[in-house]
């Protein structure tokens, strides 16, 4: 069997998605996700110019060798563009292998470790009451874990809270430029404690709460936040501080027992090796799409398992349903699975393009026995919704200083 053709298709049913389709000379094909929010077209060029030509004629069964070839063989290792490209090819090859074997990918990984995948939902509000009402909606739908985010009073726009805007494109005034937001650590500290206190008062201690800081704090500020959050018993505090310097988490860790999660921007095991082996975090949040696919995330999960670190893959709206499918297989298999972030299966346009049999019931996701990744991609439908340039926001302090995570 040989790889005959590889297509790279960009569509925008709401968010931009980059999908790869690997087609064999025997007619089998597989799909993978290469979406890199705000840098989509760089990945497309990398794939089309430098990856696809090297893979035509190769045996699609050799997943590991192709992964090593694309990672070690290029001289320039790592980086988000390289790793998203490798990820998409890798997912597509696992999809093909599963289809040929007539087995879902999780069976190829070693089989199920659990019946279903526990999810956490998002409650993003313009005010504390607004956020709490959204928590209630998720609880009513059966979710047992919810991430709480609320706009910070006194700041123009808070990250992740879009208000009446449907997406970042609208938030940026329908111009293809990054929107700008404000940040003040002091204002944030005042509002986050109120949010959690009111949430526990209203919902009691049964439901799990999570919170994402989007790396807006310094390590010592994160340590303080962790201490303040202890009484509210979070499942985890996400992206408190950036950890380009992985040692910086020692400062946070030595002060607080609030569980820590990080990793959605990481591309390789090297980005989180020290955090994991020094047990400075509790959950590693790398996404299959951004860290080199199923082959790479499996390796990170196994490494993390010996240090009591669980996987909790990134699941924001800018990860395509194909990435969600890859995560489903990894999550159902991994002995050290923690929880999966979940924001629904997208709008109607997205559902028209990506077809699958995943179901959600009482806050858990289940999968069918469909071979491969268990997700189909409708190319014709995808072409109806072309790429729309869009960026994540830029964050500045109130005096104008750039303050990004
Ligand atoms: O900022 O997906 O946990 N989820 C998040 C997201 C991310 C975006 C980045 O592209 O932090 O909102
Ligand atoms: Co996050």
* Secondary structure of 279-332 as H, E, C letters: CCCCEECCCCCCCCHHHHHHHHHHHHHCCCCEECCCCCCCCCHHHHHHHHHHHH
State whether the beta carbon of 38 lies less than 6 angstroms from ligand 1: no
State whether the beta carbon of 178 lies less than 6 angstroms from ligand 1: no
Ligand 1 nearest atom to the CA of residue 214, by list position: 11
pLDDT at 173: 81
What is the C-alpha separation between 285 and 262, in angstroms, rounded?
5
Q: pTM (2 decimals)?
A: 0.97
The ligand that comes nearest to the alpha carbon of residue 341 is 1
- Candidates 39, 238, 264: which one to mutate for ligand 1, based on the most atoms within 8 Å of Cβ? 264
DSSP class per residue in 201-249: HHHTTTSEEEEE-TT-S-HHHHHHHHHHHGGG--SEEE--S--SSTTHH
pLDDT in tens, the chain (405 residues): 999 999 999 999 999 999 999 999 999 999 999 999 999 999 999 999 999 999 999 999 999 999 999 999 999 999 999 999 999 999 999 999 999 999 999 999 999 999 999 999 999 999 999 999 999 999 999 999 999 999 999 998 777 777 777 777 787 788 888 988 999 999 999 999 999 999 999 999 999 999 999 999 999 999 999 999 999 999 999 999 999 999 999 999 999 999 999 999 999 999 999 999 999 999 999 999 999 999 999 999 999 999 999 999 999 999 999 999 999 999 999 999 999 999 999 999 999 999 999 999 999 999 999 999 999 999 999 999 999 999 998 999 999 999 976
pLDDT at 64: 98
Question: Using an 8 Å Cβ cutoff, are 258 and 289 in contact?
Answer: no
Give every strand in the sheet of 29-33, ordered side by side: 3-11, 17-24, 29-33
pLDDT at 156: 82
Structure tokens at 146: 């919810």
pLDDT at 184: 96
Interacting residues of 42 by C-beta distance below 8 A, sequence separation 6+: 36, 81
pLDDT at 405: 62
Ligand 1 nearest atom to the CA of residue 38, by list position: 10
Cβ-count burial of 263 within 10 angstroms (0-12 exposed, 13-18 middle, 19+ buried)?
Answer: buried
Give the side-chain half-sphere CA count within 13 A for 237: 32
Buried b (16+ CB within 10 A) or exposed e, 322-331: bbbbbbbbbb
How far apart are the CA of 314 and the centre of ligand 1, in A? 8
Residues labelled as active-site residues: 159, 214
Which residue has the CA at smallest separation from atom 5 of ligand 1?
316
How far is CA 223 from each of CA 5, 210, 256, 275, rounded to the nearest angstrom? 51, 16, 6, 16
State whether the beta carbon of 90 lies less than 6 angstroms from ligand 1: no
Closest CA to 93 of 326, 298, 254: 326
Ligand 1 nearest atom to the CA of residue 37, by list position: 10
pLDDT at 143: 98
Residue whose entry in the numeric block shows the structure tokens 């999780």: 106
Residues in a beta bridge with 376: 355
How far apart are the CA of 100 and the centre of ligand 2, in A? 36
DSSP class per residue in 7-50: EEEEE-SSS-EEEEEEEETTS-EEEEE---TT-HHHHHHHIIII
What is the C-alpha separation between 189 and 212, in angstroms, rounded?
13
How far apart are the CA of 316 and the centre of ligand 1, in A? 5
- Candidates 211, 283, 314: which one to mutate for ligand 1, based on the most atoms within 8 Å of Cβ? 314
Determine which helix (DSSP H) or strand (DSSP E) holds 5, and give its type and residue range.
strand 3-11
State whether the beta carbon of 208 lies less than 6 angstroms from ligand 1: no
pLDDT at 126: 94
The ligand that comes nearest to the alpha carbon of residue 181 is 1
Distance of CA 344 to the CA centre of its chain: 13
Residues with CB under 5 A from ligand 2 (ion): 212, 264
pLDDT at 175: 81
- DSSP, collapsed to helix, strand or coil, labels residue 263 as coil
State whether the beta carbon of 212 lies less than 6 angstroms from ligand 1: yes
Residues in a beta bridge with 120: 341
């Amino acid at each position: 069997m040989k790889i005959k053709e590889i297509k790279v298709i960009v569509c925008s049913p709401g968010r931009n998605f980059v999908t790869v389709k690997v087609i064999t000379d025997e007619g089998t094909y597989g799909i993978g996700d290469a979406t890199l929010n705000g840098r989509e077209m760089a990945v497309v060029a990398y794939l089309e110019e430098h990856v696809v030509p090297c893979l035509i004629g190769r045996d699609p069964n050799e997943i590991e060798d192709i992964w090593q070839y694309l990672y070690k063989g290029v001289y320039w290792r790592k980086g988000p563009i390289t790793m998203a490209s490798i990820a998409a090819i890798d997912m597509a090859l696992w999809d093909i292998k599963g289809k040929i074997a007539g087995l879902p990918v999780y069976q190829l990984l070693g089989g199920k470790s659990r019946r279903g995948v526990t999810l956490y939902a998002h409650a993003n509000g313009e005010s504390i009451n607004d956020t709490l009402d959204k928590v209630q909606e998720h609880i009513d739908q059966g979710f047992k874990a919810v991430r709480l985010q609320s706009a910070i009073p006194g700041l123009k726009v808070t990250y992740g809270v879009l208000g009446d805007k449907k997406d970042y494109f609208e938030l940026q005034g329908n111009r293809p430029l990054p929107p700008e937001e404000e940040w003040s650590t002091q204002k944030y500290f005042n509002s986050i404690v109120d949010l959690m206190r009111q949430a526990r008062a209203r919902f009691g201690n049964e439901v799990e709460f999570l919170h994402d800081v989007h790396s807006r704090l310094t390590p010592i500020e994160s340590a303080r936040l962790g201490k303040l959050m202890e009484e509210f018993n979070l499942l985890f505090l996400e992206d408190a501080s950036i950890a380009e310097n992985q040692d910086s988490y020692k400062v946070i860790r030595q002060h607080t027992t609030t569980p820590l999660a990080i990793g959605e921007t990481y591309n390789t095991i090297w980005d989180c090796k020290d955090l994991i082996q020094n047990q400075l975090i509790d959950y590693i949040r790398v996404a299959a799409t951004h860290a080199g696919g199923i082959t790479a995330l499996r390796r990170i999960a196994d490494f993390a398992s010996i240090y009591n670190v669980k996987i909790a893959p990134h699941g924001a709206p800018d990860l395509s349903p194909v990435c969600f499918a890859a995560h489903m297989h990894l999550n159902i298999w991994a002995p050290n699975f923690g929880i999966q972030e979940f924001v629904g299966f997208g709008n109607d346009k997205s559902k028209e393009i990506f077809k699958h049999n995943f179901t959600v019931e009482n806050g858990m996701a289940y999968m069918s026995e469909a071979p491969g990744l268990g997700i189909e991609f409708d190319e014709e439908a995808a072409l109806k919704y072309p790429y729309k340039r869009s960026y994540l926001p830029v964050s500045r302090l109130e005096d104008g200083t750039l303050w990004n995570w």
